[in-house]
Structures are given as C-alpha cells and as structure tokens.
Structure 1
Amino acid sequence: MELEFYYSDIEGVEIPTDNFFGVFKPKKNEDDFALDELVSKALEEPIGTNRLNQELKPGDEVVILSDDNTRATPVDQILQVLLPKLHQLGIKKEDITILMALGTHRPMEHDELVAKLGVEIVEDYNVINHLWDEEDQNIYYGKTSKGIEVWGNRLLKESDYVIGIGHIVPHRVAGFSGGGKIAQPGVCTGQTTGETHWLSALVPGTDIMGQRDNSVRKQIDESARLMGLDFIINVVQDLKEEVVGVFAGDLVEAHRAGCELAKDVYGVEIPKADIVITDSYPADIELWQAAKGVYSSDLVVKEDGYIILVTPCPEGVAKTHPEIEKFGYLSLEDTEELIENKELEEMSVAAHLVHVGRAIKEKANGILVCPNISKEVKEGLGFIPADSVQEALEFALDKKGKDASIIAMLHAGEILPINK
C-alpha cells in the first residue's frame, strides 16, 4: 500500500499490506451548499438569541472577531453576507472594527489579512491584530467560577455589540473549537489563556476531545460572557473544507448545535494500532499547531506504540513560544516542577508540553518527520528524528515487530477518532 500526503516536500510511504488497517479521514459531503444562503438563513433564524435587527440600531459600534490564518474558516465569504446586513441596519463602515482573534499566535501580515478577509475589506474597514502581550490593549473583565482572571482586548468593552466568526472542529483543550473560543483564548492575554489551558492538562484527552460540555469549555464560555461576546457565526466544514452547516446565535446554544454536526463530520471509527502515521493537516504552519495530529493519535495508539507525525511546519516550532524548544515535551510531574520553581510561567505552554509529552513520552513514542525542524531540535523536543516517513515506519516496525498493526490518519488535525 502506497500512501501519499498533502505536502509536496514530503515523500509518501509504502506500508506492508498485511499490517495495514486502513487510511482514515473526516467525511466528505456530496451535497452542494450555497454558503451565502446558509449564512443568510442562519442570521434569520439564530439559535438562542434575537436576530441582529432586534439587537442593533444606527450608530452602534460593532466589533467582529475573526479567527486567523491557522483556521480554514471562509471569513471573507461570511463577511460578504454579514457586512451588508449591518449596513442595512444603519451601522456604518467607520462603526465596525474587525479584530483578528490570534490567541497567542504572531500578528498576521498584510498579505495574510488580504488572503483571509479579502482586499476590499482590508482596505475599507478598520482591521486590527489582537496583541495578547500588550498591556495597554487589554483590560480586566472579571473572574470565572474557578477563579480564572479574565484579561482581554479592551475593544470589546468599548463597543456596543460583539460578533464572533469561527469554525467548529474537534479540539484537545476545549472539546471543540468555535463558540466562546473566539474570545477566550482568541482575544485574551497569555495569563488568562494559560490558566484555562492548564485545566485541560489535568484531564485525559478522552474526557475532553469531542465532548462539547466539559470542565474547560465551561470556563471558556464564562470568560466569553464576561467579555461581552453577544453573537457567534460558526461553520462546520468537511474534508475538502466545504461548508456543510452554519450556526448563528448564542455562544453556547448555537455552538452546541454546531458541535452535533461536527461530531458527525469529523467522527471516524478507528481501531487502535501499534503504529499510527498521522499528518497535522490543515494545522501546518508550526509545531504549536501541528501537535493536533498528536492529540488525535493519542486516542488510538496502543500503549508503548509509535506515533509518526508528518508535517511541514515552515515556521518551525513556535515563534511566540520559545519555551517549547527550551524544555521539550514533558510529563505532568516534570512540568509541575518547572512551574513550582518558576522556571516556566506561561501556562498555555505548560499545558502544551504536557499534552504532547503524555502521548509521545509516557503512553507511546513519537517520531517526527518534518523538513523544517532540525534533527537536534527534534531530539531536544523528545521526538525520534526521521528524514522520511519510510525511515520512520521501518524504525517503528523494527521496534514493534513484523506483526505490528498500522493505521494512517489524514487531515488528522481535525479528526475525531472513535474507537471500534
């Protein structure tokens, strides 16, 4: 069996047929959906809230939160429907700010903003990158029920109405992306994001991933409420990134409805295996994002098995989080020691180290095939380095034996494994 990947700079691999249990991907929808019609219908029939024409009046200042270029959400097309509706309600261009919800990612450059939003919108509207580490841009909004201090972008407080645009896929920290995540971590500080993410490090992935209502999501929802997120527009996309559903309205009720569709699209029955070959598509910019391929693999790899992560990562490990290379992936115990000794203070990084470390160092072993990360860095992170997927597979087979079971997951950054 010859398996090819989405990446032109990474060669495919030949897999022994007798060992191979199959290639698993999210579903591809065969129906045709007109996105503008889906968005218009969702805006006319919001879930859990009033329609926009019942909430907004001429002169209101509106902030639109948009996810960034690490997500495949067709924000440009959604805005082509949303913005004219806002203008019909008397909201002028100068009353609208589009705030890029970067979380702790780096700021988007001009050409990236154009690719995400469209040249006309970038030129005609006030488009701003959220800067999570700039004190003057962020204010205190209150505390959640678990005592998490919510610090976030001041523009939400200064506006009359806040709309968040995102997409819904399985997510290791929050159960699913989308919903209130556009505010937390989208436009929060590193402190707030770190505290929320750290909660997920204390819970196994099986208790969070694909579970809409979990302990971490509750804190995210509470944070978004405190920050004044009034309305969401979330899409669910299929294997080809075609939109198959649009959900608008309340950040909890509309999101919950969207997660049901996302479960159906991304949920795939997958057997457990000794060796899991996984890409990270479409989370490919840096390893901070590409680790999503590890999170999904963690649910299907057998104890002491091998996860082969295949990803390009043109921007390396994580430009905004050098601590990952400094410490490498760790156990929960070792990470807690770093926190206690105040050697590691960024809690979102701490959670990331634990999530990956639990999969590639405690439960199983990780092999990294990535042309843009050096052998030395791979080893420092805790991965076994390999120059090709073929080399990685042969190494894993040598360790696990000729009868080792093998599966492959493509589009694994957004897959939800369901164990057979």
Structure 2
Amino acid sequence: MQPFKTVDIAFGRGHLTVGLPEEAEVTVIRKASLPKLADQDGAVRAAFANPVDSAPLAELAKGRGSACILICDITRPVPNRLFLRPMIQTLAEAGIPKDRITVLVATGLHRPNEGAELAELVGDPWVLENVRVENHFAMRDEDHADLGRTATRNTPVRIDRRFLDADLRIATGLVEPHFMAGWSGGRKVVAPGVAGHETIRTFHSARFMEDPLAVQCNLVGNPLHEEQLEIVRMIGEIYALNTVIDEDRDLVHVTFGEIIASHLAAVGFIQDVTRIRLPQRFKTVITSSAGYPLDKTYYQTVKGMVTPLDILEPGGTLIIASECSEGMGSKEFRDAQARLVELGPERFLATLTAKSLAEVDEWQTEMQLKPMRIGRVQLYTSGLDEEERRITAVEVIADLDAAVADSIRRHGDSRVAVIPEGPYVVPVVEAA
C-alpha cells in the first residue's frame, strides 16, 4: 500500500517526509504557536533594561573589574548571535575592560567546541575578535574550586574558577524541556555546565536518575533541580539571560535578571506552550531528535526517546528519526552501550545502582532503559555504521514509512501520534 498522508519531521539541518497509510488516524503534536518578535535585538536590550529581581545590566556592570559569561555548547540551538555582542558592549560601556571579559562555553562533560564549530556557536565574529572565548573542561581538577558539599544530598560542589573569580557572573541559555532537570537554562548552565566531573557524575548517579520526580517539565521535588538551586546559592551573586525559541529557531521570548527568578519567569512563559495535553495514549508514536544540532549523535537522540513516553501505550512502538551525523557520541557512551547489549537491561541497571559516582556518559544509556521498559523502540538513521547500529540496543530500521505501516498492522490500531520537533515538545495524557 502506498502512503496516503505525509508529515514532515525534523532531521539533520532539514526534515524527513514520513508517509502514512490511508487508514492512519494521525495526531500531529506541536507546541502552541507563539508570535514572533518583530524586533529581536530590541527585545534583548529591553530585557537588559527591565530585569527580573535585579538592577539593569548597565548598572550591575558599574564598578566591576571583570565578567564571565556562560554560553551553552553546540548541542543547544541558543541564539547567541543575538545577545552576546550587545551584552558585551553594555559591560564595556559600563567600564569593564574587554580583555577582562570571558565567554566560557559550558560544556559539562561534553567535548570542547573549537575552530569553525566555535565560530558557529558564537554566531558573531565580533565577539571572537574582542573578548576571550574559552571552553570548560570538567576533567581538569585544577581548573575548579572546591565549595564543599550540598547540605541536602551531599553532592560535592566543584566549579570552574574562571566563573567563580569573575566580579560579574552571567549565565545564558535556552529554556526548553529537559528530561531529567525539568527545564534547561538558568541554574543548569552553571551546574553541570561549568561544574567539575565529580559534581556532574553525582548528578547522574542512579539515585538521581531513577527518582520519579526527575522528569521533564517538573521542578517540584525534582532532586536535580533542587541541587542546582543549592549550588547557585552557594556560589552567590549570579545573573542569567534566558531565551525561548520557536520551531523556526527564532527568538520569541527573553528574560534577564537574578538567575533563579529570571529562569522561573521564562519557564512560566513556555510551560503551557510546550506541555501538550492529550486525552489518550497511542500504540504508534513517531518522533524526531529535533534535528540539528541535537541529532548530531545517538547520545543526544536518547532524549527524544524519553520525552514522549507518557503517551506511549505499554507494549506500543516508538519510532524515532535521528541523523546521528557524528555517530554515537563519546567513547565512554559507546562503552556503556556495549555493556548494555552484553549484559541486558536488568543486569546493566544493577551495575549502576551501587555507584555514588556514575561513569562518564553512562547515564544516557540508563535513560534509554525507560523507553525500552515500556515498548518497542525503532530507530531510523543515516549516520551510524554497522557496529554502532548494533550497540544502540534498539531496532534500527531502513524504511520509515514501512515501519509505521507495520506498527499499525501489528497493533491493530490505526491511531498514530507524530511529534515533528521531538524533545522540544512534551505530550502528556490528561483526562478531559
């Protein structure tokens, strides 16, 4: 049977057209439409001038001798090109020398962003020409200061000295659903963004990862969020610029101010737009890894598998498309995936629960266990070799259209949910 209906989903720098059989009853799940900002530069400058729970940026900068601005790494499509130059110009006009302003890429435990990739990330040559732009390296113990441990959960707190030692500290980021911390942005750019490896590996240990409240769109009782709040309070004065973008990656909202308050303001703006309520679950769910840059690796693809689980009928089929143009991700993640295949899900999880410090990147493999517990996971990709496909531990498919038709036939249910933007949209089942 030839496809009768088509839906475009994000894939790489473009999209894939998915063909669905004639009998398919299709529910396309998107974020609610947000009005585009007529003047994005004006919106950024207005946020600086009208902050949340702080003085305007120009006033904050007066009398400061140095500044450190955190930006997310290449895995987040943050519109740095829109705000870095006006932010730096404001700091310089207030008297902070440009050679005392550092833009620090908050890599967490990801690889550094360098060369052409760094230029793409920053998005404005002027920034690279006028201030230092450097990467955070979580494994370099000497780069971090020890702040002790959190009082609540005894997390070791080590933070990059370049951020701690700055007179003015600013985090910048994108507010979107995060499958463990509830929402990205704000405090998350600090920890794990510029935290040492022990801090990050504690965050990603099984006692955090298996907590039922450590899920997307939830901040209440979320252990990761609560530890992040405690850490930023231990550090002291921090400000943040938080952005919200639409499906076209255009800026639709921006806040600036005290790090916790400005983040909550951005979450308040986006939460009802991103969290989409549905009256039913589906036996066939088609999603993406949100396209570039999130689908550069299989490591990041796992996020797209976890986010729609609330609407997947137990025993159903989750089909995800991800380019994986850079392959699996880190060597550590590859090793964790190989152990999953070798041991099986139950034995693999058993190896994690006794650890106080997770091994680097094995937490993403742990997160993959969640969709595997619920149903069948199928992956369509163009970027993995034969061995990489084997250690995904899921079923790799060659024909997306055929997989959809087969799922409908196998389950005897023509209802299909399609989530074109992947983990940037959080569908939930709520009875009417």
Q: TM-score, normalised by structure 2?
A: 0.89
Match for 1:7: what amino acid? F
Is residue 327 of structure 2 the alignment partner of residue 316 of structure 1? yes
Contact 2:109 2:360 in 1 (8 A): no
Residue of structure 2 in register with 1:152 after alignment? 159
1:416 aligns with 2:426: yes
Counterpart of 1:417 in 2: which secondary structure? strand
What is residue 52 of structure 2 aligned with on the other side? Answer: 47
Q: Give the secondary structure class of the aligned counterpart of 2:219.
A: coil
Selected match of 2:369 from 357, 378, 381: 357
Residues 99 and 295 (structure 1 numbering): CA distance in 2 closer, same or farther, change over 3 Å? same
Q: Give the 3 Å change call, closer, same or farther, for CA 235–137 of structure 1 in structure 2.
A: same
**Would you say the 8 A contact 2:318–2:376 is kept in 1?**
yes
Deviates more, 1:112-121 or 1:10-19: 10-19
CA distance 1:345–1:370, shift in 2 (3 Å): farther
Match in the other structure for 1:131: 137
The answer to whether the 8 A contact 1:132-1:190 is kept is yes
Match of 1:237 in 2: 245
User: Partners of 2:17 and 2:98 in 1: how far apart?
Assistant: 49
Equivalent pair of 1:331/1:354 in contact (CA under 8 Å) = no
Q: Distance in 2 between matches of 1:168 and 1:259?
A: 7
Give RMSD over aligned pairs: 2.4
Structure 2 vs 1, CA of residues 295 and 229 (structure 1 numbering), >3 Å: closer, same or farther? farther
Cα 1:11–1:340 shift into 2, 3 Å: closer
Query: Of 226, 230, 233, which residue of structure 2 is paired with 1:225?
Result: 233
Q: Distance in 1 between matches of 2:50 and 2:327?
A: 43
Corresponding residue number in structure 1 for 2:282: 273
Unaligned runs of 5+ in 1: none
State yes or no: 1:197 paired with 2:197.
no
Encode CA deviations 1:342-393: one digit per residue, 9 max, x unaligned: 7x9635634322221111x211111111111234433433201111212322
Q: Deviations over 1:274-295 (max 9, x none)?
A: 0111001141111221222112
Q: Say if 2:306 and 2:370, in contact at 8 Å, map to a contact too.
A: no
1:9-408 → structure 2 map (5 Å cutoff): 12-58=17-63, 60-117=65-122, 118-144=124-150, 145-198=152-205, 199-204=207-212, 208-213=215-220, 214-228=222-236, 230-270=238-278, 271-282=280-291, 283-319=294-330, 321=332, 322-328=334-340, 334-339=347-352, 346-347=358-359, 349-359=361-371, 361-401=372-412, 403-408=413-418
Contact 1:11–1:389 (Cα < 8 Å) also in 2? no
Kept after mapping to 2: 8 A contact 1:156/1:228:
no
User: Structure 2 counterpart of 1:189, which letter?
Assistant: G
TM-score by length of 1: 0.91
Query: Is there any run of 5+ residues in structure 2 with no aligned partner, and where?
Result: none
Q: Which of 5, 12, 15 is residue 9 of structure 2 equivalent to?
A: 5
Shift of 1:261: 1.1
Contact 1:27 1:265 (8 Å CA) reproduced: yes
- The residue type paired with residue 411 of structure 1 is E
1:68–1:101 contact (8 Å) kept in structure 2: yes
Q: Is the 8 A contact 2:69 2:103 kept in 1?
A: yes
> Are the counterparts in 1 of residues 204 and 358 from structure 2 also a CA contact under 8 Å?
no
